Amino acid sequence: MSEFALKTSLPTYLQDWQATIAGYAAEAGLDFFPTVFEILTYDQMNEIAAYGGFPNRYPHWRFGMEYERLAKSYEYGLSKIYEMVINNNPSYAYLLEGNSLTDQKLVMAHVFAHVDFFKNNYCFRSTDLDTGGHTTNPGARPAAYDPNRRWIDKMANHGARLRRHVELLGVNRVEEFVDHCLSLENLVDPHAAFSGRRVPVDPDATEKAEEVPRLRAKDYMESFINPEEFLEEQKQKIQERKERAKKFPEHAERDVLRFLLDHAPLERWERDVLEVVREEALYFIPQMQTKIMNEGWATYWHSKLMTEKILDASEIIDYADNAAGVLATSGGRLNPYKLGVELYRNIEERWDKGQFGKEWEECDDLDDKRNWNLRLGLGKKKIKEVRALYSDVTFIDEFLTPDFCRDHKLFSFSWSNRNERFEIESREFKQIKEKLLFQLTNAGSPFIYVEDGNFENRGELLLRHDHQGMDLRTDYAKEVMRSLARVWKRPVNVTTIVEGKATVLRYDGKEHSSRAGGAPPGRPG
Amino acid sequence: MSLKIDQDHSRFRAIVRGKIRENLKKYISHGELLGRKGKDLVSIPIPQIDIPRFRYGDKQQGGAGQGDGDVGDPVGGDGEEGGEGKQAGSDAGEHSLEVDVSLDELASILGEELELPDIQDKGKSKLINAKDRYTGVRRVGPESLRHFRRTYREALKRQISMGAYSPDSPVVVPIPDDKRYRSWKTEAEPVANAVIIYMMDVSGSMGDEQKEIVRIESFWIDAWLQRQYKGLESRYIIHDAVAREVDRDTFFHTRESGGTMISSAYKLCNTLIDDHYPPEEWNIYPFHFSDGDNWSMDDTLSCVDLMKQKLLPRVNMFAYGQVESPYGSGQFIKDLRDHFGKDDRVVTSEIRDKDAIVGSIKDFLGKGK
For residues A173-195, give the mean pLDDT. Answer: 89
Question: Are A72 and B48 inside 8 Å of each other by CB?
Answer: no
pLDDT at A108: 94
Question: Are B55 and A446 inside 8 Å of each other by CB?
Answer: yes
Chain A residues with CB under 8 Å of B57 CB are 470-473
Element (H, E) at A181: helix A171-183
CA A181-A184-A190 angle, to 5 degrees, is: 120
Query: A524: pLDDT confidence band, cut at 50, 70 and 90?
Result: very low
Instruction: Write out pLDDT tens, residues A330-386.
Output: 767 788 999 999 999 999 999 999 888 888 888 888 888 888 888 888 999 999 999
State whether ipTM is beyond 0.95: no
Q: Are residues B237 and B253 in the same domain?
A: yes
- Of chain B, the percentage scoring pLDDT greater than 90 comes to 5
Instruction: Write out pLDDT tens, residues A421-433.
Output: 788 888 899 999 9
As a three-state string, the secondary structure of A40-83 is ECHHHHHHHHHCCCCCCCCCCHHHHHHHHHHHHHHHCCCCCCCE
Query: Coil, strand, or helix at residue B340?
Result: helix
With a CB cutoff of 8 Å and minimum separation 6, the contacts of A515 are A503, A504, A506
Chain A residues with CB under 8 Å of B94 CB are none
How far off is chain A from B194, nearest CA to CA, in Å? 29
Nearest to B62 among A84, A414, A476 (CB): A414
- Of chain B, the percentage scoring pLDDT greater than 70 comes to 72
Instruction: Write out pLDDT tens, residues B233-252.
Output: 888 998 888 888 888 878 87
Q: Give the residue from chain A lying closest to B108, CA to CA.
A: A76
Query: B91: pLDDT confidence band, cut at 50, 70 and 90?
Result: very low
Whether residue B91 lies inside any domain: the answer is: no
Q: Are residues B136 and B208 in the same domain?
A: no
Whether residue B6 lies inside any domain: the answer is: no
CA A115 to chain centre: 17
Q: For the packed helices B5-16 and A61-75, what is the interaxial angle rounded to 10 degrees? A: 90
CA distances from B310 to B270, B271, B303 (A): 7, 10, 10
- For residues B285 and B254, the answer to whether their CB atoms sit within 8 Å is no
With a CB cutoff of 8 Å and minimum separation 6, the contacts of A166 are A59, A174, A175
Chain A residues with CB under 8 Å of B80 CB are 78
Q: Are residues B105 and B221 in the same domain?
A: no
For residues B317-338, give the mean pLDDT. Answer: 82
Q: Are residues B107 and B146 in the same domain?
A: no
CA distances from A236 to A211, A239, A246 (A): 11, 5, 15
Question: Are B82 and A322 inside 8 Å of each other by CB?
Answer: no
The rounded distance, in Å, linking the Cα atoms of B327 and B292 is 10
More confident residue, A440 or A240: A440
Number of domains in chain B: 3
A291 phi, psi to nearest 5 deg: -55, -50
Chain B residues with CB under 8 Å of A467 CB are none
Instruction: Write out pLDDT tens, residues A97-110.
Output: 888 899 999 999 99
Question: Are B88 and A415 inside 8 Å of each other by CB?
Answer: no
Go through chain A and tell me how many residues it has. Answer: 525
CA distances from B12 to A264, A443, B25, B48, B218 (A): 30, 27, 11, 9, 28
Q: Give the residue from chain B lying closest to A69, CA to CA.
A: B46
Whether residue B359 lies inside any domain: the answer is: yes
Chain A residues with CB under 8 Å of B17 CB are none
Chain B residues with CB under 8 Å of A396 CB are none
Question: Are B58 and A410 inside 8 Å of each other by CB?
Answer: no
Classify residue A304 as left (phi > 0), alpha (psi -120 to 50) or beta: alpha
Question: Are B54 and A472 inside 8 Å of each other by CB?
Answer: yes
Residue A446, preceding peptide bond in cis (omega within 30° of 0): no
Q: Are residues B256 and B108 in the same domain?
A: no
Question: Are A419 and B74 inside 8 Å of each other by CB?
Answer: yes
Range of the domain at B322: 191-365
Q: Are residues B154 and B195 in the same domain?
A: no
Question: Are B66 and A334 inside 8 Å of each other by CB?
Answer: yes
Q: Are residues B229 and B345 in the same domain?
A: yes
Whether residue B144 lies inside any domain: the answer is: yes
For residues A181-209, give the mean pLDDT. Answer: 74
CA distances from B357 to B34, B38, B110 (A): 13, 22, 12
Residue B283's CATH number: 3.40.50.410
Whether residue B283 lies inside any domain: the answer is: yes
Q: Are residues B45 and B172 in the same domain?
A: no
Instruction: Write out pLDDT tens, residues A103-153.
Output: 999 999 999 999 999 999 989 988 888 766 676 666 666 667 888 899 999
Q: Give the residue from chain A lying closest to B96, CA to CA.
A: A69
pLDDT at B55: 85
For residues B273-280, give the mean pLDDT. Answer: 85
Q: Are residues B275 and B182 in the same domain?
A: no
Q: Are residues B178 and B218 in the same domain?
A: no
Among B145, B168, B187, identify where a domain stops. Answer: B187
The rounded distance, in Å, linking the Cα atoms of A320 and A336 is 18
Query: A518: pLDDT confidence band, cut at 50, 70 and 90?
Result: low
Whether residue B21 lies inside any domain: the answer is: no
Q: Are residues B259 and B344 in the same domain?
A: yes
Please provide the average confidence, as pLDDT, over all residues in chain B. Answer: 75
Chain A residues with CB under 8 Å of B63 CB are 334, 412-413, 435-436, 439
pLDDT exceeds 70 at position B12: yes
Chain A residues with CB under 8 Å of B77 CB are 331, 421-422
Q: Give the residue from chain A lying closest to B4, CA to CA.
A: A47
- Of chain A, the percentage scoring pLDDT greater than 70 comes to 90
Please provide the average confidence, as pLDDT, over all residues in chain A. Answer: 86
Whether residue B84 lies inside any domain: the answer is: no
Q: Give the residue from chain B lying closest to A419, CA to CA.
A: B74
pLDDT exceeds 90 at position B24: no
Q: Are residues B178 and B203 in the same domain?
A: no
Q: Give the residue from chain A lying closest to B91, CA to CA.
A: A288
- For residues A493 and A505, the answer to whether their CB atoms sit within 8 Å is yes
